[in-house]
Structure 1
Amino acid sequence: MQRKLHPLEGIVAAFALFIALALTIGFAQADEIKKQKAVFLRSSSALVLDAETGEAVIDKNSEAVVPIASITKLMTAMVILDRGLDLETRIVLSRDDLRTIKRSRTRLRTGASLTRDELLMLSLMASENLAAAALARTYPGGMDAFVEAMNAKAEALGMSDTRFVEPTGLSPQNVSSARDLAQLVRAANNYPLIREYSTRERGTVQVFKRPLSFGNTNRLVRSSHWDIDLSKTGYISQAGRCLVMRVHLASKDLIVVLLDSWGRQSRIGDANRIRKWLESNLSSARSS
């Protein structure tokens, strides 16, 4: 015969359950606070993920939806490569491309003829807006079809916070979250050309039969302290300084997303602070 619980026993059991739940929630909140305060960052939104497990190592406002500037060009590159277009086809830069980028600075000139491959390289390595605009203009169906393909790709990747309106990142209406951009970096890392071009230190193209040399917009690719598989920078005034990378650091493959960092070198400073903190803390965790 089952013994009937004394009312006091029921109260004690309920209280014990409450305490257990409170502790669980408290530990989870403490863990979240620890991730946010792990290292001081000037970026208003940041995320560092273990690329293998998806676990967040550092998380600061990672779900905030903000303009992403030229991080956009990773999606631009994926859409071009997914379509399987001939990369050796020559494309003449046009006034339509200039209208797309408006007053944005460019070292390229209308009338210049470059291969699709060269335009892809300049878009990823040097963040050349005219190159990205030309890639989208010459996509089958033109600019509208290209932007539609960008948004379809984002949806397929589960990037629910993301919306694109053009291929360069100059529009503040190109928005996403650090969480979504980690997905973008994970997907882009599957494209060998994106890995190669986004981390290339320098590249030269012929413009009207004269060599024109470009450097990478992320100076960390030239640093001996970093092992970078994929990289992309971005900047417009509404987005602040942005940086995404896939790196090998402290014996781990990590995805780093830094958004809305204010100050010319602040994203680089944030990245280096993250590197030093991870090298110290992950190394300590392995040895303990």
Structure 2
Amino acid sequence: MSLSALASGTAAEAAAQPAKSKASASAPAKSSAQAATKPAVKSGATRKVSSVVVRKAAPVLPAVPTFGQVAGLHTVDDPLSLKSSVAYVLDQDTNEVLFSKNPQAVLPIASITKLMTALVVVDAGLPLEEKLTVSQDDVDTEKFTRSRLAVGTTLTRGEMLHLALMASENRAAHALGRHYPGGLEAFVAAMNAKAHSLGMTDTHYVEPTGLSSRNQSSAADLAKLVDTTSQVPLLRDLSTSREARVALGKRLVQFRSTNGLLSNPLWDIGLQKTGFINEAGKCLVMQASMAGRKLIMVFLDSSGKASRIADAERMRKWLSAQAESSPVSAKF
């Protein structure tokens, strides 16, 4: 329900005071009725008028519910009180599931999509030095998001790949797909074919950026994608880069990672990707070494600005506490 408030106010007038007149021998005394008349205003005096600006408060729009909220996934409790409706932790070497919460729920995955975009580009063996130019076709007409890559910007395929993984640049990801042999349609087909080959049966892509809520997957499927991409050295390096300066025309523009955990010395992250659109909530996938293990971590549909990072920290502490005892899987 929209809420609005209207502030109003009026300036109170000062009470009228009877004018004092000098006594005159020829002037008769004023009656009590005459004493109640309005006071005289001096010639040339300026009357001050208070003005009140009446402004309507901006309407408060209701938050768009995520697919997970609509499905009631947030009502599932877990011992860590995670804000993510979906969480999944897998031992990469043994495939042992250490933590599982709604792992088969199929939800929008936002910019986690870009991991598959990058994998398809690398698999195709396309030259990283080739120059690609951003066109009007790369402008977001799905969510109307902004970009620092103006139409006409030319970068190498390697630079586009870097910005797509590190800074989640949508125009870079779209340009990568558009410059694929056969064009964007062929690229999306290759994304779905790759997902099928990896056994990602709950996954479907319609475009290479993640801006569409029709790009969907499950936590179990995304763990397979992270496992595969984390074995590609180039994707590991680009996804875990903290920042990069890129020449855009005559300017050097600095881009930074969307994942603050890369700067945290308590984390040893081998590959990562964040994501967000309203329908997906905050998302995060990582491959990280922890407590003597290589782990794959998936968090989807997290509510709150920094909640996916907080959930990852809760998971790290919980896993560390379990390190000295026999690992026990937690499923919810």
* TM-score w.r.t. length of structure 1: 0.85
Tell me, in whole angstroms, the C-alpha distance in 1 between the residues paired with 2:196 and 2:141.
24
Deviations 1:193-233 (CA, angstroms, capped at 9, x unpaired): 11001100101110012101111000001110100000000
Query: Is the Cα contact below 8 Å between 2:223 and 2:298 reproduced in 1?
Result: yes
Structure 1 residues 101, 226: CA separation in 2 closer, same or farther (over 3 Å shift)?
same
Deviation at 1:38, TM superposition (A): 4.3
Query: Is the Cα contact below 8 Å between 2:274 and 2:285 reproduced in 1?
Result: yes
Q: Which amino acid aligns with 1:215?
A: R
RMSD of equivalent CA atoms = 1.2
Q: Which amino acid aligns with 1:54?
A: N
What SS class does the counterpart of residue 284 from structure 1 fall into?
coil
Counting only pairs closer than 5 Å after superposition, residues 152-171 of structure 1 correspond to structure 2 as: 152-171=193-212
Counting only pairs closer than 5 Å after superposition, residues 56-95 of structure 1 correspond to structure 2 as: 56-95=97-136
Deviation at 1:281, TM superposition (A): 1.2
Is 1:260 aligned to residue 301 of structure 2?
yes
Deviation at 1:264, TM superposition (A): 0.4
Deviation at 1:37, TM superposition (A): 3.3
What SS class does the counterpart of residue 214 from structure 1 fall into?
strand
Q: Which amino acid aligns with 2:87?
A: A
1:198 — aligned with what?
A: 239
Is 1:230 aligned to residue 264 of structure 2?
no
**Which is further off, 91-100 or 39-48?**
91-100
Tell me, in whole angstroms, the C-alpha distance in 2 between the residues paired with 1:87 and 1:248.
29
Structure 1 residues 99, 242: CA separation in 2 closer, same or farther (over 3 Å shift)?
closer
Tell me, in whole angstroms, the C-alpha distance in 2 between the residues paired with 1:215 and 1:109.
18
Query: Is the Cα contact below 8 Å between 1:101 and 1:129 reproduced in 2?
Result: no
Query: Is the Cα contact below 8 Å between 2:143 and 2:211 reproduced in 1?
Result: no
Over alpha carbons, which structure has the higher Rg?
A: 2
Which of the numbers 244, 251, 267 marks the counterpart of 2:292? Answer: 251
Tell me, in whole angstroms, the C-alpha distance in 1 between the residues paired with 2:255 and 2:93.
33
Deviation at 1:105, TM superposition (A): 2.0
Counting only pairs closer than 5 Å after superposition, residues 268-279 of structure 1 correspond to structure 2 as: 268-279=309-320
1:18 — aligned with what?
A: none
Tell me, in whole angstroms, the C-alpha distance in 2 between the residues paired with 1:129 and 1:45.
24
Counting only pairs closer than 5 Å after superposition, residues 106-255 of structure 1 correspond to structure 2 as: 106-255=147-296
Deviation at 1:66, TM superposition (A): 0.3
What SS class does the counterpart of residue 155 from structure 2 fall into?
strand
Tell me, in whole angstroms, the C-alpha distance in 2 between the residues paired with 1:88 and 1:101.
29
Tell me, in whole angstroms, the C-alpha distance in 1 between the residues paired with 2:250 and 2:207.
30
Counting only pairs closer than 5 Å after superposition, residues 27-38 of structure 1 correspond to structure 2 as: 37-38=78-79
Tell me, in whole angstroms, the C-alpha distance in 2 between the residues paired with 1:187 and 1:38.
30
Query: Is the Cα contact below 8 Å between 1:230 and 1:247 reproduced in 2?
Result: yes
Query: Is the Cα contact below 8 Å between 1:101 and 1:133 reproduced in 2?
Result: no
Unaligned stretches of 5+ in structure 2?
A: 1-76, 328-332
Query: Is the Cα contact below 8 Å between 1:242 and 1:259 reproduced in 2?
Result: yes
Tell me, in whole angstroms, the C-alpha distance in 1 between the residues paired with 2:324 and 2:257.
30
What SS class does the counterpart of residue 276 from structure 2 fall into?
strand
Tell me, in whole angstroms, the C-alpha distance in 2 between the residues paired with 1:118 and 1:157.
27
Deviation at 1:108, TM superposition (A): 1.3
Q: Which amino acid aligns with 1:139?
A: Y
**In percent, how many aligned pairs have the same letter?**
54
What SS class does the counterpart of residue 285 from structure 1 fall into?
coil
Q: Which amino acid aligns with 1:214?
A: F
Q: Which amino acid aligns with 2:101?
A: K
Unaligned stretches of 5+ in structure 1?
A: 1-35
What SS class does the counterpart of residue 205 from structure 1 fall into?
strand
Tell me, in whole angstroms, the C-alpha distance in 2 between the residues paired with 1:282 and 1:48.
14
Query: Is the Cα contact below 8 Å between 1:147 and 1:166 reproduced in 2?
Result: yes
Query: Is the Cα contact below 8 Å between 1:47 and 1:60 reproduced in 2?
Result: yes
Deviation at 1:102, TM superposition (A): 5.3
Tell me, in whole angstroms, the C-alpha distance in 2 between the residues paired with 1:137 and 1:102.
19
1:41 — aligned with what?
A: 82
2:60 — aligned with what?
A: none
- List structure 1 runs of 4+ shifted beyond 4 angstroms: 99-102
